[in-house]
Structures are given as C-alpha cells and as structure tokens.
Amino acid sequence: MKSKTYSYVVTAFGAAIIAVLAQITIPLPLVPITGQTLAVGLIATILGKKNGTLAVLLYILLGAIGLPVFTGFSGGLAVLAGPTGGYIIGFLVQAYVMGVYMEKFGVNYTQSIIANLIGMVITLAFGTTWLKVVGDLSWTAAFMGGVYPFIVVGIIKAVAAAWLGAVVRNRLESAQLLRQLA
C-alpha cells in the first residue's frame, strides 16, 4: 500500500539529514569541504530518483526561504547567489541523475559507487561553472578553487555514501519500507 504521508515524511527526513550533515565543514579559501555532498549521495542512493530528488529540492527551498540549513547554519537567496550556490543547485541534478542511473542498473555496491561518482562530477561541474561566473575567475582559477581540492575527498565521500546508502536501502527494501513510497 502506497502512502503519500509516508512519502512526505521520508522526503522531509532526507532533507533534514542533508541539513544536519551540511554543518560538518572543513574551511577552505573559496569553497569549504562539507557533509552536504555525502548526504545528497546517501539520500539519492537510499530514496531513489523521485524521493531523493524531492528531498534535495525541499532542502534547497528551505534554505532559499532563509532557514539556516546550508553550511554554517546559513540560509537565504544570497547563499544561492553566492560562490557556493552552483554546488547547491548541482545537488538537485546530482540526485536526479543518480536516481535515473540506479533505476536502470540497480542499487548494488558497485552501481552505487558509479552513481555517486557521476553525482560528484555533476555537482563539481555545476559548482565550478557558477564559481567562475560569480567570482569572475578564469577557468583555471575556478578549477583550482572549486574542483582540485575536492577530488580525493569527493571520491572518499562517494564511496562512503554508496556503501552506506546501499546497505540502508537493501535493509529498508527487506523490511518492505521503500515499497510504501508514493
């Protein structure tokens, strides 16, 4: 039996996980390393295309209206218009593309790693492009500030999100809790 209420609660819970993990930060000069990307990969792996994307959208909307859900307990349209806004918008595309990929190839550990690595590239591409435009940087400067520092840690977070996400998703499926999503 599908339940819209259950779907809404699970989606809101996904957005809350992203908001909580967003507060884990390692400051860098242009863009900090955050738990957001780990959370988005995790939520997309667990909830799939529809509910994973909706959870990210809810997270972005909550931040856009000013709730302090973004990194450093920040919120508002200024954050989305600032240097990190492209990464945040990229999360939405990341979740959707990851969900599409896993619908096609499954949610085992290997496919989850591939999906999370694809998601990492998408977020870095959106974020770096936005960083270049907003910061009026050269492509080289945008790459050095917006991609290079995140490659190794991004791969580690992608693998961690894939592993944990696949484990949690498989357990939720075994308990038939994901079948209830509308």
Q: What is the pLDDT of residues 57-100, one digit of tens each?
A: 999 999 999 999 999 999 999 999 999 999 999 999 999 999 99
Q: Using a cut of 0.85, tell me whether the model's pTM lies above it.
A: yes
Of the candidates 8, 36, 3, 7, the one whose C-alpha atom is nearest the C-alpha of residue 22 is 36
Count Cβ atoms below 10 Å from residue 23 Cβ, excluding itself.
15
Beta strands in 8-167 (DSSP E): 25-26, 33-34
Q: What is the pLDDT of residues 9-29, one digit of tens each?
A: 999 999 999 999 999 998 877
Return the CATH fold of 4-174.
Answer: Arp2/3 complex 21 kDa subunit ARPC3 (1.10.1760)
Q: Which residues contact 139 (CB under 8 A, 6 or more apart)?
A: 132
